[in-house]
Structure 1
Amino acid sequence: MDRILNTRSTMYSSSLSDTDLRDALEKLFKEKKLKFIGKFKSLYEFEAYDTWTYITWYVPNMRRQMAYLKGKIIKSEKGSILNLNLKPNPVIAIFPILLISIGIIISLIALFQNEISIFGMVLIAVGIVFYLFGVFLKNRLERNFQKHLDLQKM
């Protein structure tokens, strides 16, 4: 299911202690010229999101950023571990599923009538492009986040 909704959980190790890593993250979140914005939700849990938005106007209870990251700092013997959950915007994750499903249904209906549905194939292609766009956005946020911290993938 995570693969379909384009979510990923990743663990990174850091040589910093859990408090030092928390301080480094707080300092990083206060910088204004980064490609992501973040904040702590509790002592060792935080959220970050991409600065790109797909809707510029305010819509109540709607997530507008392109990708989201939830993280948790875990204390370890050699420093600390950072557990990250990355996902694109829910609209960008669900839209490809809907487009591909509708495209397949339209194509199957046309196939049973011995015809070819260009519209169905276009919907499938657009759905695939949107899925790949979600992968790009999720990876962009992870790379930008990882670039500013000394993290090694586990």
Structure 2
Amino acid sequence: MLNKILNIKENSYSFNLDKEVLKNKIEAIFKQQNLNIVGEFTTENEFSIHDKWTLISWVMPNLKRKSAYLKGTILSSKKGISIKTNTHSNTILAVFSFFSIFLGLIISILSNQNKQLLIVGMMLILLGVLYYLIGLYFRNRLLKNFEKHLSL
């Protein structure tokens, strides 16, 4: 349930490639400058990818600014090589979405026949839904770019 609220999607992909060949293929994606994604290997078997689009333009310490993030782990098993990914949009979108819908519901309930407050509450709910849909778009855009460039 929390994964749905925070817009997190987990995927698994299987490959018939050698582990080093797969890592080289992923590194080749990272080296291409003309793509909409940027990434790097964080450890020997883990990598991180983010979208080039910036959601937040100002710089604040410990605040993620990109629109979507993907973390991947390369796993070896007897059946072959697989990649497990965890993709999510910027957490701020999910938090603002939840907060806006919650505040809009409270204002709408407490409006008590006041049409102006009811309109404000409904607009906040609509804004929250819009934030959530934008987060879905960013997450799916990054995931589709990753799948396209890895030829999945």
The SS at the match of 2:150 is coil
Contact 1:36 1:141 in 2 (8 A): yes
1:121 maps to 122
Output the amino acid matched with 1:26.
Answer: E
CA deviation map 1:104-129 (0-9, x unaligned): 0000101xx23440000000001001
Query: How many pairs were matched up?
Result: 149
1:59 Cα deviation (Å)? Answer: 2.1
Output the amino acid matched with 2:105.
Answer: I
Contact 1:38 1:49 in 2 (8 A): yes
Alignment of 1:4-153 (within 5 A): 4-110=5-111, 113-116=112-115, 117-151=118-152
Larger helix percent: 2
Overall identity of the aligned pairs, in %: 40
1:93 Cα deviation (Å)? Answer: 1.5
CA deviation map 1:58-94 (0-9, x unaligned): 2222111000000000113453111000011111111
Unpaired segments ≥5 residues, structure 2: none
TM-score (norm 1): 0.92
Unpaired segments ≥5 residues, structure 1: none
Q: Distance in 1 between matches of 2:58 and 2:88?
A: 22
The SS at the match of 1:68 is strand
1:27 Cα deviation (Å)? Answer: 1.4
